Structures are given as structure tokens and as C-alpha cells.
Structure 1
Amino acid sequence: MMTSRLFSQCFENPTAPRDSIGIHSGYSNIEQLLTLAWFSAPDLNAAKLLLAGRASRRRAVPVPRGCQLSCRDMSDAVKRRRRGQKERRDRWSATPVTNEHDDGPQGAFKRISTMWSSFRRGIRERSKAEEPEPPEPVGPTAADSASKQQRYASGQYFFEYLVVVSLKKTKDSNSYEPQITYQFPKRDGMVRKQKEEEEKTLKAITLFCFPEGISWAPLTEYHSETFSFVLTEIDGSRRNGYCRRLLPGGKGARAPEAYCIISTLACFGLFSKIFDEVEKRRQISMAMIYPFMQKLREASFPAPGHTVEIKSFIPESGTEIIRLTRPLDSWLEHVDFATLFNCLTDEEVLLVFAAAVLERRIVFIANELSILSQVIHAVAALLYPFTWQHTFISIVPEILIDVVMAPTPYLLGVQKHLLDLVTDQSDLLVVDVSQNKQETFLVSIGDEASILPPKLKAELLEVLSGRQKASGVEELNRVVSDTFLHFFVRTVGHYASFIKYGATGEHGVFDRRAFCKAIDSKTTRHFVKKFTQTQMFDLFIQEAEQQQPGPQQGIFHHKIREFQDKKKKEKTKKH
């Protein structure tokens, strides 16, 4: 990416102008950023310690808000940061460690999960109590508004709002900083508390749209890129941020700008196509964007496999019909496995998968924001039907780089110019997914190759080698997802047989010991014993225990039944 190249050139060239590039030293909503970045319940304590570490360093090295550090000062800043790392490591080591080997029903993960659920309920109840009841709708206008609110709440709207983040000159210098210059639609009718939270969110969005932390300058060339991030509220609800950064049309040097769509819907491919239309209209005129977005907002979000048509007028082209189609496999619509396998070999993907399955700390390094966000979402999708439960930040803003110090599991995307602040860590996996890399695994624990059972690992590699025959993105996604889904079917697909139910209406109880003993292969049993200690497995089982006995729906359970039927037929043939 051009900005990263400029950063590298300036860093390597000590004769560059002092104000040509720099690092933002302060941000007024660090706490809000840590909340909005995906921190799960077990990681909240670590996040608080992270804030304490930042505050400690700031007290030791006071820097006036809004000032810039020049390139010549950067080496000193890095040295000061590293001198403070030992203190922060000591603070991390003082963090109470969860007993991951507690097999009892009151295990550590269950206690944390229960506490967090109660905390979330308390937050929601207090919010409801504090907010005044909305007035009764009067007249057709109020009725239409209520209908639209209900429609959005049901997930039928494409997006919540669009914001334009532009780079504006600061008053006290010639540097540029990101600012929201437009929001569509305006969020009116919110109570005071909602308005305050929304303002904090909007301020945080600017940093996720321009996370590099460098001082921008007007450019004559810039390749547009699309990436995504996740905003997580205190009650656990999540919203997806889709961002397209581009260079607006015109002559001469000009500053890039970002278009960011906030939506509860996870469908990267669909929103990427929407941004193609936005960028095409932006090159004509800014005014051409908003009629298109209004039409999009009025359209219903299509069901999986269906298409919605948007009519939009463009000067000299007339009325165009834009067709937006959702993938048939809706649970894969936020995933692009092609980028993951373009960046890593099959063997390297399995090493990353093995580390993710055991919920380790993993950092992905690249220059391009689009590659970081697509790779990290693809890795999380490999875990289906399980869900990553810990810190998940697809693009870490420079101001939050200290999150790499956290002792809890995480999946992080970090830009390459911050690499030196990551590689001096241990007990984690640092994966370089950038183009023209010299080495893929910059830091590793060393046992990643021995985590997966050898026989199943060989089968995974054999099946993945056939993905070259996939004719398109959707087929590739299906082949890859089926491959890893089958791995979980083979290893833990028999879990339902070991959930014992008592009287009618009571929740089931999972027999972990008997579940592991039922596995014939020693290597597979060894892997499963480790996997059952993860939070993703624990929460999966908790949900299964709360369901009523009987056949379950969903693609995972469908694959389990297919596998079990196949085994029965093979046994019948042998006899």
C-alpha cells in the first residue's frame, strides 16, 4: 500500500522533512476503542490492565495531545516503549490465570460465561430502565417511521448508516487527521444516552478507517481497497464495519477518503459490490452517491440465493439496474477463502488452523488492510461450527498496538510497519501474509505441526489439494468449509451421544470423560482432550446441554448424520 511505502521510505531516510510523516500520540476515546474492538468476557480484565499499562507509559513519557513525533524521534519512542514492556509483562503475569483443566460443571470457563451473561442482562435491564418510553406515534409519518424501525430491527435493511471519513488539515499544523464529513441517514430521535454512545462510536470509526497512525498527505496515486472490522457493544451485540478507501476524482495531489457502512449483516462480498457502485459514482460527483444509498436502504435484504435489484440513474448512462445476489450458503457470505490460500500454502493454513483450534495468540502481518481483514475472517470461519470467543480485531489501530501484550487468546491483524512492536513477544504465532514475504512464520511456539492428528492432517491436505478444480468463489468456499467441517465431524461429531438427560424439561449434562474414551485413535483422543479444554468447545456444549434431546438442525448435524450412516453401511458390508 502506498502509505506503508511512504512510511518505510521516510523511516529509512533521515533527511526527510520532519513533518512529512509522524505518529499520532493521543486519542481521547481509548476506553471506547477497547470496548468497540472485539474483546470477549474472559479478556475484559486483560483489557483493563492494558489501559493501565498505557496510562503508566503516558505518565512516564508525557506528550501533549495532538502533537506529532517526527521520524528522527521514532527510534527514541520505540526504545521508550520497549523499556516499558518488562513492566507490562510483569503486570500481565500478575493476572489471575484461569484453570483450563477444570473438568467439573463449575469449571472456570463456565463460571466466567455465567458471570458475563448476568452482567450483560444487568446492562440491558438498566438501559431499559433509564431510557424513557417512546411517545405514541401520531399520524401517518410516525407510523411510517415505526414501520421502518421494525423493518430494520428484523434485519431487512442493508445497512444502518453510511459515513464518509475525510482527511482534514489540523488547525495547528500542516498534518491531516481523519474526520467524519457526512453521515447518511442522520440518526435523529435518540435519547441522550444513545446519542452520547453514538458519538463515541463515530469517533472510533474514524480510527478504524485510517488505523495506520501515520500523518497523511495529499497523493496523486492510490489503489482503492476494501476491508472490514467488527464493533462490539458492552452488551455483546456486534455490528460490522465495511470500509472502502479511495482517491476521489480530480487533478493534482489530493487526500484519500473512506466510505464506511455500518451494518448488523455479515456479507463482505455483497458490500464489496456495493462499494464498487459507490466508487463509480464518486468519480462523477459526491452527490451521485446518496440517491443510490437511499434506494439501497429502501430495498429488502435478499434471502440466501436470492437477488435484489436496485435502480439508479447515472448521467450519460441513464438508469442502471444493479443486481445484488446473496450466496446460497449464507454462513459463508462473509468469507473469502481464496485470499487465505493465496497468501499461505495448504500446510501453512493447517498450522494456523491448529493454533486457532487450541485458542492461541495469533497475529497476522501485512501491508494491505484488505488482506488482513479477509485472512483473519477466513481463519475464524475455518472453526465452524465453533465460534472464536476471544479478542478479535481484524485491523489493530496503531493506538491499540499494546493489545499484543495481552495474555489471553486473540486473533489480530497488524500492519507491517508495526512489526517491531510484535515480534519481541513470545508464546504466540506471528504469520506474515504479505506479498513478497521472505518467511511466513516470524514467531512460533514450535509445536504447531504436531497438534493435529497425523492421519486426519494427511486427509485434510489431500482434500484441499482438490480445491484447484473449484470453478468460482462460492464453490471454493464450499469445498474448503466442507473439508474442515468434516474434520470436526470425525473428531467430535459423537458429542450428542454423551449428553445425558434426566427428568423431562431438565438440561442435559455432558460426560466429557466418557466422550474422550470413546475415541479409538490415541492421537485423535490426545487432540480432542486438548480441544475440550477450549472455551469455544465449552460454550458449544453448554448450548447443546440446554437443547431438548432429539435430532438437531443445521449443516453440522446434517454432516454428522451422513457420516454415521456411512459408517453403518460400511459395517454392514464387512459382516
Structure 2
Amino acid sequence: MPFQVDRVPATPGPLASHGSLPGSPQDHLGEGVKEPERTQEHCLPNFAGGQHFFEYLLVVSLKKKHSGPDYEPTITYQFPKRENLLRGQQEEEERLLGAIPLFCFPDGNEWAPLTEYPRETFSFVLTNVDGSRKIGYCRRLLPAGRGPRLPEVYCIISCIGCFGLFSKILDEVEKRHQISVAVIYPFMQGLREAAFPAPGKTVTLKSFIPDSGTEFISLTRPLDSHLEHVDFSSLLHCLSFEQILQIFASAVLERRIIFLAEGLSTLSQCIHAAAALLYPFSWAHTYIPVVPESLLDTVCCPTPFMVGVQMRFREKVMESPMEEVLLVDLCEGTFLMSVGDEKHILPPKLQDDILDSLGHKIKELQTSEQINEHVSGPFVQFFVKTVGHYASYIKREANGQGHFQERAFYKALPSKANRRFVKKFVKTQLFSLFIQEAEKSKNPPAGYFQKKILEYEEQKKQKKSKEKTVK
């Protein structure tokens, strides 16, 4: 199946037409790697553990074009090699590999050799037409050597969303890269053979490094798996709580949102953080953390999107015909464009609750895990208060098939402001996809969101009990 960068029904994605992989990557780190079975997963799920860590490690380098001064990103190393694939599988892999270089160097083709280059860690997402997603975790740096040279990208392709953990893996790849490219191979082979750990568990790899001896590398997966694919620190550094709340409100109504920033790291971290605020719902429209120059026309699409654009392309974006867009300048912490009603989308009292929670003891937080939980919590609580009663309004037939009672659902809310919001929210694809899954399942999923719903219902019972006792 062809890979694309969006998931808009009946619309082929911009990568669907990409052909075969340019050139023939040289596998100079090892021969005869046996390929385990591939794992197909859907849309950054919460992995129980046991899957393979990654599908590919790739090195993408800039190669001079045959004509003109420009460079072309090209895969110069691929591990593991794909062998014994059926024709359809081979075509799918070639489309995937043909798309990746574009996202490793989204800045365009005008490069010059450099003596210094600050390393960047970023990511991108490729979405298959069946909705399954593959994530590219990238580390861009100058290769070892002296004198002017061009940057290259180490890219790990995986179905697993766990950005903090893969950043640590890229640290290990970079450390070995400074010694010799050949030292990377045994480390990645060991990682390839290890099973992805369950939440809260650790996998330990043994790796030999010349002049250093044998090292043991421990990779621990966060216990709270619904936040393992995000880091809110960049978003908090760039924007105020009020601005983050307005971005959330725009995303909830599935509007068009564009982030502008200089660095690839900032762009990808902030857009992943913005999408993560929607938990337990999933953004199902065009989603490109860093838009390559050749795909900038995406910002003219009439459908919802959430994209990141490098600041160097700001003028092109500003000149594009766009309607109902929230254009966020992450460098200056300002909105360059907005619809104008962003402050009035969410119920006022619930907005105040979110802002109060975000500001409470924020300066006392130290670890990224604490920051993630602190930022995510108020937004999860917002959905608990507005739609947490959804399971009570799914009526089931004898065969177990559920039917959502939409009108009774939003009329059950005592607050008029909450009802007005929910009447709009139930019409979004965010909610529709969520409720379709709930209709199929006989029991509510025993996840983090359900846990918070049960805690909230228990608090309400205790409050009513106290009020009766007082009377």
C-alpha cells in the first residue's frame, strides 16, 4: 500500500505518487541479516510490549545532483536489508524508502559544506492509506571528519510512538558514529533482536565499543504509556498557558493549525505536544510535523490539518490563500493569524479550571515525566467533565452492537455552556472515531481515560454524600 502524510478519506496523500527508492543504498555495515516478521500496528497505539523496536535504521546523506549546484537527499545506508519480499511488499517498501529522504531534509536543496552544525533531533510521521502509521526518529549532525562537510541524518523507522526512548537510542547511535560507522551495526542488531518492553519495564542491551570495552545500555519505557510519545517542555517554553489553551480549542474543532519555528526539533516536539493534548481522542486529518518545501501547498488545503513549517518559508505561507487558520509563531510566541473566536470555543468555567491547574506549582516540577503529567492532566479532566459519561449512552442490541444516543448524551449535561460545546464536538471526526470504537466494544477500555472517569464519578458520589450528611 502506498504511504502518504495524511489520512483524509477519498483523497490520495501527497506521497502516494512517489516512485521507487532513488539509487541503491550501500549496506557497508554487515551482510546476511535475517529479517524478522514485520509488525503492523494502527495509529500510535499503546503498546503492551513484545514488538520489535524498529523496522529500519537509515543514513540519509546529501548528494550533488548531476546538473546544477543543488543537493539531493539520498539513502546511503540501510539496516536491515529487505530480501525475499513479494512484489507488492517490495513496491510498498520502495515507496516508503523513497519518501523518507524528503522528510529528513525538508529544508530544500540549497546546501553548502559546513564546519559546524548544531545537532537536531526531530521526527516525522508517514500514514498509510489503511490508517497505520510509521514514525521516523531523526538525528541530524555533521559526519565525523575535518574540514567543511555536509550534514547527514540517522533515521530510525518504527511503528512505535515513544519519542523519549528513541531519542536515547539515537544518542547511542551518535556516540558510536563518532568512533566508526561499523560500531553501530552490532548495537542495532542487538536492539533489533530485543523485544520492546511493557510500560514501566526495562530492556538491557550488551554492546562492545573499541577502547571502552563492553557496555550495558538500559532502556526504560515510561509507566504511563499514553504520554510516552510526547514532551511538553518545548511547547511551554514557546507559548503561554492561554495560547496553548487556544490551540487546544482550535484542534478540538478540527481547524487548520500551522506552527512556524526555526529548528526542526522545536517544530516536531511542539506539534506532537499539541496533538497529545487531544487524548483520549486522536487527530485523524493531515498531520505533518515538518512540511518539506515541496509540499508547502498543503497549507492551501480546505480540509483540517496540523502542520509545522520552518521559519525560512514564512513568506510563502503568509502569501498562500488560507481561510480559518491559526498560524502560530513559536519563535516570538505570537499568533500571526487566527479566526478570532479561539477564546470563546470552550466553556468559560472549564477554561478557568484548566488555566488554574496549569499554573499550580508549575515551578516545582523537575523531570519531563512530571511536566508531561502536569500539562496533560487538566486537558484529560476537561474531557472527563464534558464527555466522560459517554458509555452510559451507548445502548446495546442482543448481539452486543452498540448505538450511541447522541441527543440524550449532550442533554444529560446540566451546564448550558457545556452542552453548547458538546453539541459541536460530537460532530467532529475526533469524537466520531472514538465513539465508533466504543460502540464496537462491549466494555469501556480499561485505560488511563477510563480510570480518570471512575475517579471523577467517585468524587461526585462522595460530594453528594457529604451534602446529605450536612443537611
Distance (Å, rounded) in 1 between the aligned partners of 2:191 and 2:379 = 35
From 243, 253, 263, the counterpart of 2:158: 263
1:183-241 deviation per Cα after TM superposition (whole angstroms, max 9, x unaligned): 01101111222222222221210100001113111101101111111111222221111
Instruction: Count matched residues.
Output: 444
1:283 pairs with 159, 162, 178, which one? 178
The whole-number CA distance in structure 2 between the counterparts of 1:552 and 1:372 is 32
**2:403 is matched with which residue?**
509
* Other-structure match for 2:315: 420
User: In the alignment, what sits opposite 2:121?
Assistant: 226
Corresponding residue to 2:365 among 450, 461, 470: 470
Q: Quick one: which amino acid aligns to residue 463 of structure 2? A: E
TM-score, scaled relative to structure 1: 0.74
SS in 1 for 2:369: helix
Amino acid aligned to 2:225: S
Q: Helix, strand or coil: the match of 1:471?
A: coil
Q: Deviations over 1:245-269 (max 9, x none)?
A: 1101211100100111111111111
Is 2:388 aligned against 1:500? Answer: no
Is the Cα–Cα contact under 8 Å of residues 364 and 433 in structure 1 kept in the other structure? yes
- The 3-state SS of whatever aligns with 1:235 is coil
TM-score, L = length of structure 2: 0.90
Match in the other structure for 1:303:
198
Instruction: Report the alpha carbon displacement of residue 468 of structure 1 after superposing the two structures with TM.
Output: 2.7
The match for 1:560 is: 453
Residue 148 of structure 2 is aligned with which of 247, 253, 263?
Answer: 253
The separation in 2 between residues aligned to 1:397 and 1:494, in whole angstroms, is 41
CA distance in 1, matches of 2:415, 2:37: 54
- Partner Cα distance (1:253, 1:158) in 2: 35
TM-superposed CA distance for 1:552, in Å, is 4.4
Q: 1:175 aligns with which of 67, 70, 81?
A: 70
Going by fraction, where is strand more abundant, 1 or 2?
2
Q: Distance in 2 between matches of 1:494 and 1:275?
A: 42
CA contact (8 A) 2:7 2:127 kept: yes
Report which stretch shifted further, 297-306 or 455-464: 297-306
d(CA) in 2 for partners of 1:451, 1:182: 49
State the alpha-carbon separation in 2 of the partners of residues 470 and 394 from structure 1: 27
- Which residue of 2 is the match for residue 545 of structure 1? 439
Give 5+ residue unaligned stretches, structure 2: 18-31, 42-48
| Equivalent-residue separation in structure 1 for 2:137 and 2:16 (angstroms) | 27
Task: Measure how far apart 1:367 and its partner are.
Answer: 1.2
Which amino acid is the alignment partner of residue 7 of structure 2?
F
Residue in 2 aligned with 1:461? 355
Q: Check if 1:321 corresponds to 2:209.
A: no
**Counterpart Cα distance in 1 of 2:38 and 2:339:** 50
Task: Pick from 87, 106, 118 the counterpart of residue 192 of structure 1.
Answer: 87
SS of the aligned residue for 2:298 comes to helix
Rounded Cα–Cα distance in structure 1 between residues aligned with 2:16 and 2:53: 35
Q: Name the structure 2 match of 1:149.
A: 37
Shift of 1:365: 0.5
1:342 to 237, 257, 279: 237
Aligned to 1:484: 379
Which shifted more, 254-263 or 511-520? 511-520
Which is worse superposed, 350-359 or 304-313? 304-313
* Residue type of the alignment partner of 1:560: I
Shift of residue 285, structure 1, vs aligned partner: 1.5
Q: What SS does the corresponding residue of 1:41 show, helix, strand or coil?
A: coil
- The SS at the match of 2:215 is strand
Q: 2:101 matched to which residue of 1?
A: 206
| Distance in 2 of aligned mates of 1:51 and 1:191 | 20
Q: Which is further off, 521-530 or 173-182?
A: 173-182
CA drift at 1:145: 5.9
Decide whether the 8 Å contact of 1:426 with 1:443 is kept in 2.
no
Q: Whole-Å Cα distance in 1 between the matches of residues 224 and 363 of structure 2?
A: 20
CA distance in 2, matches of 1:257, 1:553: 43
Which aligned runs of 4 or more in structure 1 are off by greater than 4 angstroms? 150-155
Q: Which residue of 1 aligns with 2:346?
A: 452
Tell me, in whole angstroms, the C-alpha distance in 2 between the residues paired with 1:206 and 1:151. 23
Cα separation, 2, equivalents of 1:378 and 1:206? 24
Name the CA shift for 1:514/1:145 in 2 (closer, same or farther; >3 Å).
same
Kept in 2: contact 1:177–1:215 (CA 8 A): no
- Equivalent residue, structure 1, for 2:255: 360
Whether 1:165 and 2:60 are equivalent positions in the alignment is yes
Amino acid at match of 2:233: A
- RMSD, aligned CA: 2.3
SS of 1:569 mapped into structure 2: helix
**Aligned partner of 1:518 among 412, 421, 434:** 412
- 1: distance between equivalents of 2:77 and 2:39? 24
Q: What is the aligned partner in structure 1 of residue 46 from structure 2? A: none
Percent identity (aligned): 57
Equivalent residue number for residue 239 of structure 1: 134
Q: Write the letter of the residue equivalent to 1:218.
A: P
Q: Deviations over 1:11-31 (max 9, x none)?
A: xxxxxxxxxxxxxxxxxxxx9
